[in-house]
């Protein structure tokens, strides 16, 4: 079984990569090449890392590694299977990146979802959990549900949320996709209610990806303990 020190080291690296992904997002949205996006970030000079006085780390640059560390520790404590723990932590870190990008930029990057799909397929083939058919059924369920939600309330969620929901459905499979998606919708509904009370403003658009990501990881966590 892997010890806490290596997993925390990996979590620190994951947190740094997540922060870079968040800062790269504006360039990635307007560029088809990762090299162009990286050049754009270098031009900025990592200004988002430092505050105006140049001495203190930006709040997000501390939160992301800390959150990644919590994900790593929970994953490690969930199972004695080292590879299973690393898979759970890895998907948790990926979901954290999706969540923080959406919180910052109100977008779910297609590039990240597409890049991860081959890894998801490989994971399903190696572990058999879920099966490919169950994964496809989970994605189909998510598509149908979110397409209906968007048709009824187009201002509530966007196409990016639909694509992310399909990714979640494919990741956890059916019927687990039902629990993951419904948890995300419930968490998002609670957040929307809190914002309504705080801001006293209806129709305010919120980032749904963080709540969908939380629901997805909780289901992945539960699947590992079964």
Predicted pLDDT at 118: 95
Cis peptide preceding 37, ω within 30 of 0: no
Q: Is the pLDDT of residue 200 over 80?
A: no
Q: What range defines the domain where residue 117 resides?
A: 108-226
Which of 49-53, 167-171, 180-184, 186-190 has the lowest average pLDDT? 49-53
In this structure, the number of other CB atoms found within 10 A of the CB of residue 82 comes to 13
Residue 142 and residue 76 share a domain: no
Q: Per-residue pLDDT tens for 213-226?
A: 999 999 999 998 76
Q: pLDDT at residue 8 above 90?
A: no
Lowest average pLDDT, out of 9-13, 51-55, 88-92, goes to 51-55
Residue 58 has pLDDT above 60, yes or no: yes
**pLDDT score of 32:** 53
Q: Based on the domain organization, do 156 and 73 belong to the same domain?
A: no
Measured CA distances, 144 to 131, 139, 181 (Å): 20, 9, 12
Q: Are residues 26 and 82 in the same domain?
A: yes
Residues 157 and 73 in one domain: no
Listed residues 54, 77, 107: the one ending a domain? 107
Q: Are residues 155 and 83 in the same domain?
A: no
Decide which of 85, 107, 129 is a domain's last residue. Answer: 107
Q: Identify whether residues 75 and 120 lie together within a single domain.
A: no
Last residue in a domain, options 52, 84, 107 = 107
Per-residue pLDDT, averaged over 136-142, amounts to 97
Number of domains in the chain: 2
Q: In this structure, are 10 and 71 located in the same domain?
A: yes
> Do 117 and 222 have their domain in common?
yes
**What pLDDT does residue 47 have?**
47
If asked whether residues 10 and 20 sit together in one domain, one would say yes
Quote the mean pLDDT of the chain: 84
Q: What are the DSSP calls for 21-82, one per residue?
A: HHHHHHHHHT-S-HHHHHHHHHHHTSGGGB-TTSSSB-HHHHHHHHHHHHHHHHHHHH-S-H
Tokens encoding 119: 């890894």
Q: 140 and 209 in one domain? A: yes
Q: Residue 147: pLDDT above 70?
A: yes
119 and 69 inside one domain: no
Indicate if the pLDDT at residue 116 is higher than 80: yes
Considering the domain architecture, whether residues 87 and 113 belong to the same structural domain is answered as: no
End-to-end CA gap in the chain:
19
């Amino acid at each position: 079984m892997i010890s806490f020190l290596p997993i925390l080291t990996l979590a620190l690296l994951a947190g740094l990569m997540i922060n870079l992904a968040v800062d790269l997002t504006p360039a990635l949205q307007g560029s088809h090449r990762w090299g162009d996006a990286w050049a754009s970030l270098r031009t900025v000079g990592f200004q988002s890392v430092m505050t105006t006085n140049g001495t203190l780390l930006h709040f997000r640059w501390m939160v992301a590694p800390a959150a990644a560390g919590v994900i790593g520790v929970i994953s490690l404590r969930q199972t004695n299977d080292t590879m299973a723990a690393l898979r759970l932590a890895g998907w948790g870190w990926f979901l954290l990146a999706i969540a923080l990008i959406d919180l910052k930029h109100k977008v779910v990057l297609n590039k990240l979802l597409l890049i991860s799909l081959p890894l998801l397929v490989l994971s399903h083939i190696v572990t058999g959990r879920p099966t490919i058919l169950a994964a496809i059924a989970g994605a189909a369920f998510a598509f149908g549900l979110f397409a209906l939600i968007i048709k009824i309330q187009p201002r509530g969620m966007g196409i990016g949320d639909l694509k992310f929901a399909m990714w979640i459905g494919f990741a956890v499979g059916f019927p687990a996709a039902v629990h993951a998606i419904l948890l995300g919708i419930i968490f998002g509904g609670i957040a929307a209610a809190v914002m309504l009370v705080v801001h006293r403003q209806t129709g305010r658009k919120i980032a749904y990806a963080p709540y969908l990501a939380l629901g997805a990881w909780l289901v992945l966590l539960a699947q590992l303990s079964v």
